[in-house]
Amino acid sequence: MQHQNRPPSGGRLPAAYFAIMTTSRPPADILTQTRTTAVAATMQQIRAIIGAALEPTPQQLEQVAACLRQLAALGGLFPDAHFPGPDEGVAETLYLLSEDDDLNNALYLYRPAPGMSTPPHDHSTWAVIAGIEGEEPNTVWQSGTAPESGLQISRRFSVGPGQSACFTHDQIHSIAIAGERAIKHLHLYGHSLLDLPRRRDFNAADGSSWPQTEKPLVLPPQSLTAASHA
């Protein structure tokens, strides 16, 4: 796992994508177009980095993280009006920003509610997260020295604005969200979260695991939903 805690670096998005940051209240259609263009440019860079690799190398994931941090730095492209937090009683909401026709390279804006936590789990695909707003505390787990010893904590860290983290397909982690409002982060997965039948949850006490059958709530941005019903 690679954890970044430095400002975005590497190749830059074209300057035109940053113009939205200088406009206090851009029209919704311009904001949506600008976000769509910025997301498409970012994903083009990411596809060029990973190619057809099903499991990118650590170096490739580091480069992907740098691209995702650049996009996350454009916080004005992801307003609450387009990406509201979860409704009362809902633990988390994801908004689909981009996905290939074969369901690979799925990018979401992730909004978990305060108090939301997960059991230890893997993703069965690679993942990169980058912070926009709020802190996402992570615990990374590893198998104990004996089968009956369960999982042991490998490390703890938090991903916030300007930071990112990378996970391979078999790494096990859990999150626990604190604070007073839903955080707002970018989550990129090698494959759609709605099509990961080998994803597993784990019991930390004994190391047992089982398929993760519950599907997350995935929505389009509110601006696109409104346009589709116009």
Mean pLDDT score across all residues of the chain: 87
pLDDT at position 26 is: 56
- Strand 172-175 and strand 184-191: the pairing is unpaired
pLDDT at 22: 42
Q: Domain holding 185: CATH number?
A: 2.60.120.10
DSSP string, 61-72: HHHHHHHHHHHH
Residue ranges in the chain modelled with pLDDT below 50? 1-11, 14-24, 227-230
Position 225 scores a pLDDT of 58
Per the structure, the complete domain to which residue 115 belongs is given by 3-228
Q: What pLDDT does 202 receive?
A: 96
> Which residues in 48-91 belong to E strands, given as ranges?
none
Q: What is the pTM of this model?
A: 0.86
Model confidence pLDDT, tens digit, residues 131-155: 999 999 999 999 876 667 799 999 9
* DSSP one-letter code for 18: G
**CB-based contacts of 65-68 (< 8 A; 24+ apart in sequence):** 65/2, 65/4, 65/128, 65/130, 65/164, 65/165, 65/166, 66/4, 66/8, 66/9, 66/10, 66/11, 66/164, 67/10, 67/11, 67/42, 68/42, 68/128, 68/129, 68/130, 68/164, 68/186, 68/188
Total number of domains in the chain:
1
